[in-house]
Amino acid sequence: MTVPSHPFGLSVEQTSYPFKILPFDGILGLAPSVNKGSVLHQLKAAKSLPRNVIGVYLSEDTHRSGSMDFGGVEPTHIAKDGQLHWHKITHESEWSVGIKDILVNGKPLHICDERKDGLCPAVVDTGSSLITGPSAEGEALGPNLHQE
């Protein structure tokens, strides 16, 4: 895959923490294509992909790598008889989506019930395998994550 005319940055010095313990050798920003500094913007402008879609698989198993599919979605990461769900982004410059709730041991925490339309904002960060959300609702998770 070729990304024409994309600016590239290089770090020549970095701290040992946390980079010494993280298993990666670089970062590639994948902001939505509306962001002109994004690799995806360049790919879309050059018509380099069969479809303007990226599939991201974030593994919860630390012994199993995640993956990215530029131009489609890798069907092997969809459960047999499972459905693929598409979510609209709420801010065109980042992968921000609305989430209804979080389940712990299969039980809903109802952390977004008081929000407009019952949705909390969340940002999916493909560079760190994190999903971030609002602080107040995130703090409500703390006691629930350590239940036996």
The mean pLDDT of 80-96, rounded to a whole number, is 85
Per residue in 19-49, pLDDT (tens digit) is: 777 666 667 778 888 877 788 888 888 898 9
Is 99 part of a structural domain of the chain? yes
Is 124 part of a structural domain of the chain? yes
Q: What is the DSSP secondary-structure string of 31-81?
A: --TTSTTSHHHHHHHTT-SSSS-EEEE--SSTTS--EEEETS--GGGS-TT
Is 136 part of a structural domain of the chain? yes
* Mean pLDDT, the chain, whole residue set: 79
Domain that holds residue 120: 87-148
Per residue in 100-125, pLDDT (tens digit) is: 988 888 889 888 898 889 998 888 87
Is 51 part of a structural domain of the chain? no
The DSSP 8-state label assigned to residue 23 in this structure reads: -
Query: CB-based contacts of 126: which residues, under 8 Å, 6+ apart?
Result: 30, 56, 68, 95
Q: What angle do CA 58, 64, 70 make, to 5 degrees?
A: 45
